[in-house]
Amino acid sequence: MKVLITDPIADAGIDRLREAGFTVETAYEADQETLQTAIRDAAGLVVRSGTEVTDELLSGAPALQIVGRAGIGVDNIDIDAATEHGVIVANAPEGNVRAAAEHTVAMTFATARSIPQAHARLKTGEWAKGDYVGTELNNKTLGIVGLGRVGQEVAKRLGSLGMELVAYDPYIGADRAEALGAELAELETVLDRADIATVHTPLTPETEGLIGAAELKRLDGGYLINCARGGVVEEDALASAVVDGTLEGAALDVFATEPLPEDSPLLGAENVVVTPHLGASTEAAQENVATSIADQIAAAVADEPVLNALNAPSIDASAFGRVEPYIELAETAGRIAMELFDAHIDTAHVEYAGEIADEEVDIVTASALKGMFRPLESQVNAVNAPGIAEERAIDVVESKATAAEDFQSLISVTLENGDGSVTVSGTQFAGNDPRIVRIDGYRVDAIPEGHMLVARNYDEPGVIGFIGTVLGEYDINIAGMFNGRETIGGEALTVYSLDSEPNGSIIETLEADERIISAQYLALTDE
Ligand code: NAD
Ligand code: MLT
Catalytic hit among 48, 98, 193, 277 = 277
| Positive or negative: CA dihedral 426, 429, 435, 441 | negative
Q: Is 277 a catalytic residue?
A: yes
Q: With CA atoms as reference, report the closest residue to 455 among 426, 444, 437, 428.
A: 444
User: CATH number, domain at 144?
Assistant: 3.40.50.720
The values of phi and psi at residue 46, to 5°, are -115, 130
Regarding whether 227 and 82 lie in a shared domain, the answer is no
CB 146, CB 169: distance < 8 Å: yes
* Domain membership flag for residue 169: yes
Chain mean position to CA 484: 42
Residue 96 beta carbon below 6 angstroms from any ligand 2 atom: yes
Regarding whether 125 and 18 lie in a shared domain, the answer is no
Q: What is the DSSP string of 288-310?
A: HHHHHHHHHHHHHHTT---TTBS
| Residue 3: its H or E element | strand 2-5
> Domain range holding 152?
97-274
Regarding whether 110 and 47 lie in a shared domain, the answer is no
* Domain membership flag for residue 308: no
Regarding whether 415 and 403 lie in a shared domain, the answer is yes
Residue 495 makes CB contacts below 8 A (sequence gap 6+) with 436, 439, 444, 446, 452, 453, 454, 481, 482, 483
* Domain membership flag for residue 364: yes
* Domain membership flag for residue 310: no
Regarding whether 297 and 204 lie in a shared domain, the answer is no
User: CATH number, domain at 494?
Assistant: 3.30.1330.90
Q: Is 349 a catalytic residue?
A: no
pLDDT score at 314: 77
Q: Edge-to-edge strand order for the sheet containing 395-401?
A: 395-401, 347-354, 409-417, 420-429, 433-439, 442-446
The values of phi and psi at residue 45, to 5°, are -130, 130
Percent share of the chain, pLDDT over 90: 84
Mean pLDDT of 393-401: 95
Regarding whether 232 and 140 lie in a shared domain, the answer is yes
Alpha helices in 342-442 (DSSP H): 362-373, 385-391
When the pLDDT of each residue in the chain is averaged and rounded to a whole number, the result is: 94
Residue 215 beta carbon below 6 angstroms from any ligand 1 atom: no
Distance between CA atoms of 438 and 493, rounded to whole angstroms?
Answer: 10
* Domain membership flag for residue 306: no
Q: Which ligand is nearest to the CA of 9?
A: 2
For ligand 2, the distance from its centroid to the CA atom of residue 48, given in whole angstroms, is 6
pLDDT score at 297: 98
Mutate to test the pocket of ligand 1, among 200, 211, 281 (most ligand atoms within 8 A of CB): 200
Catalytic hit among 16, 98, 218, 229 = 229
C-alpha neighbours within 13 Å on the C-beta side of residue 56 = 7
Mutate to test the pocket of ligand 1, among 94, 201, 206 (most ligand atoms within 8 A of CB): 201
C-alpha neighbours within 13 Å on the C-beta side of residue 218 = 15
Band of the pLDDT at 317, cuts 50, 70, 90? confident
Residue 476 makes CB contacts below 8 A (sequence gap 6+) with 498, 499, 500, 502, 506
Q: With CA atoms as reference, report the closest residue to 201 among 165, 222, 229, 221.
A: 229
Distance between CA atoms of 437 and 430, rounded to whole angstroms?
Answer: 14
For ligand 1, the distance from its centroid to the CA atom of residue 278, given in whole angstroms, is 16
Mutate to test the pocket of ligand 2, among 75, 102, 277 (most ligand atoms within 8 A of CB): 277
Residue 527 confidence (pLDDT) above 60: no
Band of the pLDDT at 378, cuts 50, 70, 90? low
Chain mean position to CA 26: 24
CA-73 nearest atom, ligand 2: 2
pLDDT score at 466: 94
CB 471, CB 480: distance < 8 Å: no
Regarding whether 392 and 445 lie in a shared domain, the answer is yes
CB 25, CB 5: distance < 8 Å: yes
Distance between CA atoms of 442 and 517, rounded to whole angstroms?
Answer: 15
Amino acid letter for position 498:
L
Band of the pLDDT at 526, cuts 50, 70, 90? low
Residue with the smallest CA separation from ligand 1 atom 15 is 201
For ligand 1, the distance from its centroid to the CA atom of residue 204, given in whole angstroms, is 10
pLDDT tens-place string over residues 172-196: 888 899 999 999 999 999 999 999 9
Q: Give the count of domains, the chain.
A: 3
Regarding whether 33 and 7 lie in a shared domain, the answer is yes
pLDDT tens-place string over residues 192-205: 999 999 999 999 99
* Domain membership flag for residue 330: yes
Distance between CA atoms of 476 and 465, rounded to whole angstroms?
Answer: 14
Amino acid letter for position 375:
P
Dihedral, CA atoms, 289, 295, 297, 298, nearest 10 degrees? 160
**How is residue 277 annotated by DSSP?**
S
Regarding whether 170 and 22 lie in a shared domain, the answer is no
CB 385, CB 350: distance < 8 Å: no
Amino acid letter for position 259:
P
pLDDT tens-place string over residues 332-353: 999 999 999 988 999 999 999 9
Distance between CA atoms of 16 and 298, rounded to whole angstroms?
Answer: 9
Catalytic hit among 56, 136, 178, 258 = 258
For ligand 2, the distance from its centroid to the CA atom of residue 316, given in whole angstroms, is 25
Q: Which ligand is nearest to the CA of 48?
A: 2
Distance between CA atoms of 147 and 167, rounded to whole angstroms?
Answer: 7
Q: Which ligand is nearest to the CA of 91?
A: 2
Amino acid letter for position 107:
M
Q: Which residues pair with 267 in a beta bridge?
A: none
Regarding whether 504 and 383 lie in a shared domain, the answer is yes
Regarding whether 139 and 72 lie in a shared domain, the answer is no
pLDDT score at 313: 83
Regarding whether 181 and 263 lie in a shared domain, the answer is yes
* Domain membership flag for residue 443: yes
Say which range, 129-143, 258-272, 442-456, has the weakest mean pLDDT: 442-456
* Domain membership flag for residue 339: yes
Percent share of the chain, pLDDT over 70: 99
